[in-house]
């Protein structure tokens, strides 16, 4: 049997070459005052202080030149005074234009779209900076149902498309240097690399962000070690949906090869690792994100995949994945090594479709429902170029010296050829082998050479590297992941969160946060609260007053340990912090009519013709109390899969106030209130958000027209009271 070829020998992994940069000139002694728009061409120290410095895209500070140390110790740059609206942040705080041997250290940067942006620099050091609480979008997935509008796409970045998502640190065409001891929390993306190589990224805390901890695009030969990049997640609601929406602790995209990833904690993220070969490989079958080594990382508690690595050849050595959907999803992986890893309590430990010549050896599988799943799908997507250029059958696996315990199935294989299953230890396994379809050339052997990880696939810790794996976070399970409208909750401030559905009556709410005590200080529309005071960790039960089941609010006061809000506001220990919960969901019965769009008779852009069509006979009708619908396949056979127009009508009784009407629609939508058109978004496209604010009072007639052409269907209308 042909086995994977060895990785290039990299004993010691050339770490000295990665971090052995030429020394830079020391910073000047006398601190200088900060000036917005200043251009730094020599080493200097900025006078400590907090500076409000809104920025355009050119940068608040621009660094140009060689052998420069910019010391910002004690300096805080604030780009926006709207701390609670991070989706409105703009501009770049620090821009490094080219140059050689440039260091930026000690800064605190918040309120910008991009914290530090460097292009074309050789020998860049970013050290000891805190770039937390920069740009992030509002999320629209709720507790019970997700929204398509929150899905990410990192597939293209040759023209810096990733910048639309913002970043605490964005490096483009940077060669050599280090990123160390930086902190990025409560943003969207912590560190993004494009065409950047030879960097050592270590001892950073890139956690609790709503997109990526670290993202690489066409970036190779980097060392990523000793980082904490946990809780980089969106698209998860425990017990309701686990999609991840392409968030990840670590993303390797589009021909990112030869990177070393070792000794990192990358848990509780959409994917722990998300690796994809790239569009070039998908179109031509050539290349891939190949020969990356993942050694002794913890990728546990991912809503989707602890490690996803596709269309490429890579090495997964001595990692840990617990409590995820898949430990490794390795679609179209070839000549890859999966050695000495620990998989536990995953739905599937290793799942590989269309894989070839992979070796799976020395791993432990404890409590995974299916330990190893291998298969081939005879029908592949017609728009993929890859299967037109490559043999994509599933064949030639060496599965040796693995330990299986408490699994329902140890190995499930379908339409897979030439499997060696040798020297396995099985304890409390219901079924050892399941062979389905055209699975031939199956060899079971009782003995093989003792297993040991080859030295060429091991990595030595860096001197001074933090041991982020020694004391894992006590909140180990996926049930500790909480994602609200601004991203993952970081447990550093008090908050209320439902136990189960948010529309339950009475409503059980958990009191979360640092240790401390709380008490009820205000309530509206609530009949009973039990208990009215207590400690963090309690569950309280809220019973709305009669007739206020859809409109009530509760406010608590917390006193305890120091806290930091999701927007970066710090409160000392013992000082009061207000937090609460509110429900406002106007009662309504929405009547929906679904009408097929006759392509020969009606053009989607012809709104008059669509209106006339709606006066005809519908394909079906339904009622719902909440206009929040999403599907790929319709829930009823009578609803057309594609080219369908929906009309929804309802009467809403509202107290006199100002209200925000928000729509989320794929493909197009229009909304009338009392026959007045208030939202007109009739241009077909993917799910997007539209809003308007109106003054209402009394009973009002709402009418919605929605157009669905093909693919996913999403129709959502929210009515919210506007907070002044």
Choose among 93, 28, 27: nearest CA to 61: 93
Q: Which residues lie closer than 8 Å to 706 by C-beta, 6 or more apart?
A: 645, 646, 647, 648, 665, 668, 669, 715
Residue-level pLDDT at 50:
95
pLDDT at 514 over 70: yes
Residue-level pLDDT at 426:
96
Residue-level pLDDT at 1:
34
Q: How confident is the model at residue 19 (pLDDT cuts 50, 70, 90)?
A: very low
Choose among 456, 479, 472, 241: nearest CA to 345: 479
The structure tokens 């960097």 sit at 199
- Between 78-92, 455-469, 473-487, the lowest mean confidence (pLDDT) is in 473-487
54-68 average pLDDT score = 88
Q: How far apart are CA 38 and CA 60, in angstroms?
A: 7
Residue-level pLDDT at 22:
35
Residue-level pLDDT at 94:
97
User: What are 83-105's pLDDT values in tens digits?
Assistant: 889 999 999 999 999 999 999 99
Output the CA–CA distances (angstroms, integers) from residue 519 to 495, 526, 677, in the order listed.
12, 15, 45
Rg, C-alpha atoms of the chain: 28
Output the CA–CA distances (angstroms, integers) from residue 330 to 301, 343, 402, 404, 624, in the order listed.
18, 15, 18, 20, 41
Residue-level pLDDT at 289:
97
Residue-level pLDDT at 508:
98
Q: How far apart are CA 159 and CA 178, in angstroms?
A: 24
Q: How far apart are CA 37 and CA 164, in angstroms?
A: 23
What's the gap between Cα 705 and its chain centre?
32
Residue-level pLDDT at 622:
94
Domain positions in the chain are 491-584, 590-721
More confident residue, 446 or 637: 637
Residue-level pLDDT at 616:
84
- Name beta bridge partners: 601: none
Residue by residue, what is the 3-state secondary structure of 265-282? ECCCCCEEEEEECCHHHH
Structure tokens at 632: 């790929």
Q: How confident is the model at residue 599 (pLDDT cuts 50, 70, 90)?
A: low
Choose among 301, 673, 317: nearest CA to 309: 317
DSSP 20-74: -PPP-PPPPSS-B---TTEEE-S-EEBPPEEEE----TT-SEEEEEEEEEEE-TT
Output the CA–CA distances (angstroms, integers) from residue 490 to 32, 268, 518, 686, in the order listed.
36, 11, 19, 31
pLDDT at 601 over 90: no
Going by their DSSP bridges, the two strands 563-564 and 533-535 should be labelled as unpaired
Q: How far apart are CA 471 and CA 561, in angstroms?
A: 21
Residue-level pLDDT at 12:
36
Q: Which residues lie closer than 8 Å to 273 by C-beta, 6 or more apart?
A: 248, 249, 250, 252, 261, 266, 294, 297, 299, 305, 306, 307, 308, 309
Please say whether the beta carbons of 401 and 361 come within 8 A. Answer: yes
Q: How far apart are CA 524 and CA 552, in angstroms?
A: 5
Residue 431 has, within 13 A of its CA and on its CB side, a CA count of 12
User: What are 239-285's pLDDT values in tens digits?
Assistant: 999 999 999 999 999 999 999 999 999 999 999 999 999 999 999 99
- Between 365-369, 660-664, 681-685, the lowest mean confidence (pLDDT) is in 681-685
DSSP 4-23: PPPPPP-GGGGHHHHH-PPP
More confident residue, 312 or 20: 312
Instruction: To the nearest 10°, report the CA torsion of 135, 137, 142, 147.
Output: -150
Q: How far apart are CA 440 and CA 444, in angstroms?
A: 12
User: What are 395-415's pLDDT values in tens digits?
Assistant: 999 999 999 999 999 999 999
Q: How confident is the model at residue 106 (pLDDT cuts 50, 70, 90)?
A: very high
Structure tokens at 607: 């709104």
User: What are 622-654's pLDDT values in tens digits?
Assistant: 999 999 999 999 999 999 999 999 999 999 999
pLDDT at 6 over 60: no
The distance between the two most distant Cα atoms of the chain, rounded to a whole number of Å, is: 81
* pTM for the full predicted model: 0.93
pLDDT at 719 over 70: yes
DSSP 197-233: EEEEEES-EEES-SSEEEEEES--S-EEES-B-----
Q: Which CATH superfamily is domain 590-721 in?
A: Galactose-binding domain-like (2.60.120.260)
Q: How far apart are CA 372 and CA 271, in angstroms?
A: 19
pLDDT at 4 over 80: no
The structure tokens 């962000």 sit at 209
Q: How far apart are CA 93 and CA 95, in angstroms?
A: 7
Mean per-residue pLDDT over the chain, rounded: 92
Going by their DSSP bridges, the two strands 676-681 and 688-708 should be labelled as unpaired
Q: How far apart are CA 81 and CA 111, in angstroms?
A: 8
pLDDT at 236 over 70: yes
Please say whether the beta carbons of 660 and 644 come within 8 A. Answer: no
pLDDT at 79 over 70: yes
Residue-level pLDDT at 84:
87
Share of the chain above pLDDT 70, in %: 94
Q: How far apart are CA 93 and CA 110, in angstroms?
A: 9
């Amino acid at each position: 049997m042909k086995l994977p070829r060895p990785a290039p020998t990299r004993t010691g992994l050339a770490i000295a070459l990665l971090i052995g940069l030429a020394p830079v000139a020391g910073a000047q002694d006398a601190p200088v005052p900060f000036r917005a728009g200043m251009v730094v061409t020599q080493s200097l120290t900025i006078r400590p202080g907090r500076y409000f410095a809104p920025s355009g895209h050119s940068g608040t500070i621009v660094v140009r030149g060689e052998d420069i140390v910019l010391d910002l110790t004690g300096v805080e740059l604030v780009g926006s005074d709207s701390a609670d609206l991070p989706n409105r942040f703009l501009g770049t705080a620090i821009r490094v234009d080219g140059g050689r041997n440039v260091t930026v250290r000690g800064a605190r940067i918040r309120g910008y779209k991009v914290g530090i942006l460097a292009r074309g620099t050789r020998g860049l050091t970013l050290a000891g900076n805190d770039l937390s609480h920069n740009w992030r979008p509002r999320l629209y997935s709720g507790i019970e149902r997700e929204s398509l509008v929150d899905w990410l796409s990192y597939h293209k970045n040759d023209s810096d498309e990733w910048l639309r998502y913002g970043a605490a640190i964005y490096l483009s065409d940077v060669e050599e240097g280090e990123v160390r001891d930086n902190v990025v929390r409560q943003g969207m993306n912590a560190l993004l690399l494009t065409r950047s190589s030879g960097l050592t990224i270590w001892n950073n805390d890139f956690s609790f962000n709503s997109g990526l901890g670290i993202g690489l695009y066409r970036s190779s030969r980097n060392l990523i070690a000793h980082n904490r990049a946990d809780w980089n997640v969106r698209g998860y609601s425990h017990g309701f949906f686990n999609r991840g929406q392409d968030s990840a602790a670590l993303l390797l995209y589009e021909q990112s090869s030869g990177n070393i990833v070792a000794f990192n904690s990358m848990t509780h993220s959409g994917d722990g690792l998300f690796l994809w070969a790239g569009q070039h490989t998908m179109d031509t079958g050539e290349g891939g994100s190949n020969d990356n080594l993942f050694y002794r990382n913890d990728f546990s508690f991912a809503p989707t995949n602890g490690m996803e690595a596709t269309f490429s050849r890579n090495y997964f050595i001595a990692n840990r994945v617990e409590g995820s959907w898949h430990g490794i999803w390795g679609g179209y992986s070839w000549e890859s090594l999966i050695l000495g890893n620990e998989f536990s309590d995953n739905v599937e430990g290793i799942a590989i479709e269309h894989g070839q010549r992979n070796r799976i050896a020395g791993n432990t599988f404890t409590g995974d429902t299916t330990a190893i799943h291998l298969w081939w799908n005879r029908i592949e997507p017609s728009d993929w170029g890859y299967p037109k250029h490559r043999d994509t059958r599933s064949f030639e696996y060496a599965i040796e010296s693995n330990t299986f315990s408490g699994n329902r199935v140890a190995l499930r294989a379908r339409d897979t050829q030439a499997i060696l299953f040798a020297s396995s230890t099985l304890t409390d396994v219901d079924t050892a082998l399941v062979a389905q379809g055209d699975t031939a050339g199956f060899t079971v052997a009782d003995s093989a050479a003792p297993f040991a990880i080859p030295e060429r696939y091991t990595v030595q810790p860096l001197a001074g590297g933090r041991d982020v794996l020694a004391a894992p976070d006590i909140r180990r399970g996926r049930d500790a992941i909480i994602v609200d409208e601004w991203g993952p909750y970081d447990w550093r401030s008090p908050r209320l969160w439902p136990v189960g559905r948010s529309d339950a009556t009475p409503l059980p709410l958990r009191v979360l946060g640092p240790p401390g005590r709380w008490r009820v200080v205000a309530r509206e529309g609530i009949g009973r609260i039990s208990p009215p005071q207590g400690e963090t960790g309690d569950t309280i039960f809220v019973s709305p007053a009669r007739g206020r089941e859809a409109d009530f609010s509760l406010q608590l006061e917390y006193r305890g340990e120091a806290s930091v809000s999701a927007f970066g506001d710090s409160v000392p220990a013992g000082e009061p912090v207000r937090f609460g919960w509110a429900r406002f969901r106007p009662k309504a019965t929405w009547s929906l009519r679904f009408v097929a769009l006759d392509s020969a008779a009606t053009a989607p852009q012809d709104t008059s013709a669509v209106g006339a069509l709606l006066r005809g006979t519908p394909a079906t009708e339904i009622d719902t109390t909440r206009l929040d619908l999403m599907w790929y396949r319709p829930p009823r056979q009578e609803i057309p899969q594609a080219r369908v127009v929906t009309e929804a009508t309802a009467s809403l009784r509202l107290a006199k106030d100002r209200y925000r009407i928000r729509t989320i629609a794929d493909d197009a939508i229009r909304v009338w209130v009392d026959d007045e058109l208030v939202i007109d978004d009739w241009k077909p496209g993917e799910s997007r958000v539209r809003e308007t604010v109106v003054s209402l009072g009394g009973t009002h007639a709402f009418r919605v027209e929605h157009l669905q052409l093909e693919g996913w269907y999403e129709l959502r209308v929210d009515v919210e009271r506007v907070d002044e």
